[in-house]
Copies of this chain bind each other. A is one copy, B any other.
Amino acid sequence: MNESSSEPGTVRPGGRTARVREAVLRAAGDALAEDGFDRLDLAEIARRAEVGKTTLYRRWGTVPGLVADMLGEMAADSLPRTETGSLDGDLTAFARLVLGTLTDTRQGPLFKALIAAATCDEQTATALHRFYRVRLDEWAPCVEAAVTRGEIPAGTDPHEVIRAVSAPLYYRLLASGDPLDEAAADRAVLVAVAAAKAGVFVA
């Protein structure tokens, strides 16, 4: 709210400031994964990170602000994409990756918490959307390659295909509570491939 001075951490971003930021973001991730979004207080994070809680309130202000920063960090480190030579193989690799993330003991609850945080705060929502945008851009090329190979029709929207694979897994995680297993992941891939070949994703 104070527009006369710059945000803390921008003028002297090196050394101690960077160490504090790293420790806090890691501690926040742990705390989010363990306790969930609502049971979180910054004092707990400060203790874990061995940092004064004043620092947290001054630099990030609120829990959503901190979460938004975390998401920016997560979007920065891209994850490797496999190239198997077929759309089915590539999408299966992607689906397994998403499945692994969402069922991971630490990352699953973390993603739940991140999404919960995004529903409560506009800034966090923007950061979350940017994160998924990056993920989609990262994996879109495997769909484009399938178009080049002639597996699926020209003009197919790559983002739509990737979304179609992700969506059922997130739906199970967040809404329906149905089991998140390899069968679900593989079925999501089959659905997306069948639809793509039928030309449903052609713009």
Contact = CB atoms under 8 A, between A and B. Distances in A.
Interface of A: 36-39, 112-113, 115-116, 118-121, 125-126, 128-129, 132-133, 136, 160, 163-164, 166-168, 170-172, 174-178, 187, 190-192, 194-195, 198, 200-201
Contacts of A167: 167-168, 170-171
B175 A115 contact: yes
The 6 closest A-B pairs by CB, nearest first: A129-B177, A167-B171, A191-B195, A116-B116, A194-B198, A167-B167
Contacts of A37: 38, 116, 119-120
B160 A187 contact: yes
A170 B175 CA distance: 8
Contacts of A190: 195, 198, 200
Contacts of A164: 168, 191
Contact of A174 (B38, B174, B178): B174
Contacts of A187: 160, 200-201
Contact of A168 (B36, B113, B126, B163): B163
Contacts of A200: 187, 190-191, 194
B125 A177 contact: yes
A128 B166 contact: no
Nearest to A133: B176
A163 B172 CA distance: 9
A166 B170 CA distance: 11
A38 B38 CA distance: 7
A170 B118 CA distance: 14
B176 A36 contact: no
Contacts of A118: 174
